Amino acid sequence: MKIYTGTFIKKSGELRTMTFAKVKELPEGILPEAKGGKKTKVPEGMELVWDVESKYYRMFNYNTIVGKIEESEIDSKALSQTIE
């Protein structure tokens, strides 16, 4: 299973480096449901992802990306353990 590490500029101007899994690439049922249960429209250039380190859903902003996104592999079992 793929995970990614990338840096982007937040609205506040701060840099955020995040290691994440793309929600659309994960097997169904591996992540907890998002609070509120509502599906919101994701702005253009942004993607809903699972932040592996903070164990929470976040938006990754491709519009303000700094550098390149690094791609690596993780065992799906290991990813499941990071979610718990």
What CA–CA distances, in Å, run from 54 to 27, 29, 41, 49? Answer: 20, 19, 23, 12
Residue 60: what pLDDT?
96
Whether 38 maps to a domain, the answer reads: no
What is the domain count for the chain?
1
Task: Evaluate whether residue 11 is within a structural domain.
Answer: yes
Q: Sign of the C-alpha dihedral, residues 37, 38, 39, 43?
A: negative
24 domain residue, yes or no? yes
Inside any domain, residue 18: yes
pLDDT of amino acid 35: 55
Domain range for 58 is: 2-30+43-83
Q: What is the pLDDT of residues 17-76, one digit of tens each?
A: 999 999 888 777 766 665 555 566 888 999 999 898 888 889 999 999 999 999 998 876
> What is the model's pLDDT at position 56?
87
Position 74 in a domain: yes
pLDDT band at 82; cut points 50, 70, 90: low
Taking the whole predicted model, whether its pTM rises above 0.85 is answered as: no
